[in-house]
Structure 1
Amino acid sequence: MIFLLLSILFSTGLFVIFKYFGIYKVDVLKAIFINYIVAFSMGFLLAERQIPILEIYLEPWFPGALVLGALFIAIFFVMAMTAQKNGVSVTSIAGKMSVVVPILFGIFLYNESVTFFKILGIVIALIAVYLSSVKEEKQEKNGTLLFPVLLFIGSGTIDTLLKYVQVNYVADADVSVFSGSLFGIAAIFGFVILTIRTIKKREAFGLKNVLAGIILGVPNYYSIVFLMKALQNKNIESSTLFTVNNVAIVIVSTLVGLLFFKEKFSLKNKIGVVLAILGIVLVTIA
């Protein structure tokens, strides 16, 4: 349970850092690239079992890391496009509601338990995610449904694939180096994109973006590592874990936004937080 709590804590930390990115006008793509390099380096420096970098392609989990690394970058761009075309509120809801994908896979792929209270808790949790995430935006956007759908599927696929690779291919001692590897692969894709962008528009990288990336990299690395360690716990089903993890992040992030960033807290948001707590209690009891 301690790993789940740490994952929630560090994931919420990412929310806070991204808030400050907006305040200080950080180039998010550049910071994300540096963040992946930092997380990659930590993965190999803190690994329990040392594996030569040039030999990681021989590991059974490497294909999974390759796909996840590519998805990390792809979903980053889908999130950006969703925010531009459909608004921040839709982006937040689509990303967080994607928890239903790993929940369903956990039930059908791993034959996890299905009880009345568990299903009720999950349904309440999903309603809570929506109510907690919805914001009153000044400008109404009428974008295509393509990007929200892609974000929903992509985010859910990342969680589902992470669980699948962890269960079938990643040994307990390899969690750190596996996490570092998928971040390293994401960094390679990010480097290619940055190179193409630089060719089109030459501009300085900026010390501010480097520092922002370093600050982001540490909690990003630990959010993945602690989530994977939590998934190793045989006493917690993945459908329960993903529900508690995602919904708890929504609650804490919403409260942080209210207390530290003076965000508007509507009646819907208040109801969402109350329902989120109820959903977590029901799923945990079940």
Structure 2
Amino acid sequence: MSYLVIAVLCSVAVSVLLKVLRQHQIDIRQTIMAGYPVAFFLTWTLLKPDLSATADLNAAWGIILLLGILLPLVFVILGRAIESVGIIASDAAQRLSLIIPIVAAFALFGEVLTLQRTWGIFLGFLALVALVYRTPEKANATNSIYSRVNMSQRIGLAKVPVGLWLLGVWVGYGVIDILFKQVAKQGAAFPLTLFMSFGLAGVLMCLYLLILKTRWDNKALLSGIVLGMLNMGNIYAYIKAHQSLADSPSVVFTGMNVGVIAVATLVGVFAFKESLSKLNILGIVLAMACVFVLFWG
């Protein structure tokens, strides 16, 4: 339970940092790239991966390759989605990616679908829908903020139908959740997988920015130190949560997604003075009910 709380708080802190960076028109692509060497170093220092076991990774190389590609790629896709349709629709697609790992928990990981977990998951889905909903007026107001972000930060990808960007966000985050579950199943070997994945992600993101001939920004790069620390805390705690609740992956998947969006909603209200509709407030209540049913029911 404590690991899941830490993962939720770190994830929300990452979202808050990215929101602040966007408000100050800082190129978050560079921040993301700079964050991976920090996470790489922290993994080496704190988790002490056994490099001698590299030859024994076997099937884990597939996970490393997928994470190394997807971790930076989903950030790029998310940025493009926000640019195309705004933060509201993009955030909804990200959080509703919960559907993919939840289905995988029962279809791939052999979890037993009890009545209690069915109700908990159902409440979680209702909470997600209620929390991501915004009235058209509020959505337009939020999107207008991001339309004023420096256009030099466009990520240089060819024009793609809007729906494909949202689909990319949905699938990308859902697959990453499943991959982290697989990493958690490695037990004591998971630090090495994280270490290699962070290293590959950092290299690929750097190459991507070099290809685009990016003009480097010291503020963006320094912000990467904070982002890397939070990202490392989020992923480490998330994997430990899966290990401590190894027989209940759906609890972790649901608790993480519902917890993040509920806490983020509260932060938005009290820190950024965003307003909540009655439906959003209902979503917070449903989120708390979901957590209660899944953990203590």
Letter matched to residue 59 of structure 1 = L
Calculate percent identity across the aligned residue pairs.
26
Deviation at 1:25, TM superposition (A): 2.0
Give, in whole Å, the separation in 1 of the partners of 2:81 and 2:126: 21
Stretches of structure 2 that go unaligned for 5 or more consecutive residues are 145-160
1:47 shift after superposition: 2.4
Counterpart residue identity of residue 187, structure 1: G
How far apart, in 1, do the equivalents of 2:165 and 2:122 lie? Answer: 24
Is 1:192 matched up with 2:207? yes
Letter of the aligned partner of 1:272 in structure 2?
A: G
| Distance (whole Å) between structure 1 residues aligned to residue 81 and residue 88 of structure 2 | 10
String of CA shifts for 1:59-103, please: whole Å, max 9, x gaps: 232321111110112211221222122221110111001111111
Aligned match for 2:164, one of 140, 146, 149: 146
Please name the residue that 2:243 is paired with.
Answer: 232
Distance, in Å, in 1 between the alignment partners of 2:220 and 2:254 is 33
Distance in 2, Cα, partners of 1:234 & 1:98: 20
Query: Displacement of 1:58 after TM fit?
Result: 5.2
Residues 252-275 of structure 1 deviation map (CA, whole Å, 9 limit, x = unaligned): 111111111111212221111111
State the 1:157 CA deviation. Answer: 0.6
Q: In the alignment, residue 137 of structure 1 is paired with which amino acid?
A: A
2:228 maps to 217
Secondary structure at the counterpart of residue 26 of structure 2: coil
The reply to whether residue 250 of structure 1 matches residue 261 of structure 2 is: yes
Do structure 1's residue 137 and structure 2's residue 139 form an aligned pair? yes
CA shift digits 1:125-168 (9 cap, x unpaired): 11211221223312789x6322212211111111012212432x
Is residue 2:55 matched to residue 1:37? no
Q: 2:246 & 2:204 partners in 1: Cα distance?
A: 36
Query: Structure 1 residue aligned with 2:57, among 56, 59, 67?
Result: 59
Q: Deviations over 1:214-264 (max 9, x none)?
A: 111101011101111111124650011111111111111111111111112
Q: Deviations over 1:15-65 (max 9, x none)?
A: 22112212322210000000011111111122234316xx84652323211
Letter in structure 2 aligned against 1:182: S
Q: Which runs of 5+ in 1 are unaligned?
A: none
Deviations 1:157-209 (A, max 9, x none): 11012212432xx232x3333223211111111011111111xxx62x12211
- 2:90 maps to which residue? 91
Counterparts in 2 of 1:259 and 1:147: CA distance versus 1, 3 Å: same
Partners of 1:36 and 1:184 within 8 A in 2:
yes
Equivalent residue number for residue 28 of structure 2? 28
Count residues with an aligned counterpart.
276
- Aligned-partner residue type, residue 147 of structure 1: W
**Conserved in 1, the CA contact under 8 Å of 2:184 and 2:240?**
no
Q: 1:176 — aligned with what?
A: 191
1:122 aligns with 2:107: no
Alignment match of 2:284 (pick from 259, 264, 273): 273
Q: CA RMSD in A?
A: 2.1
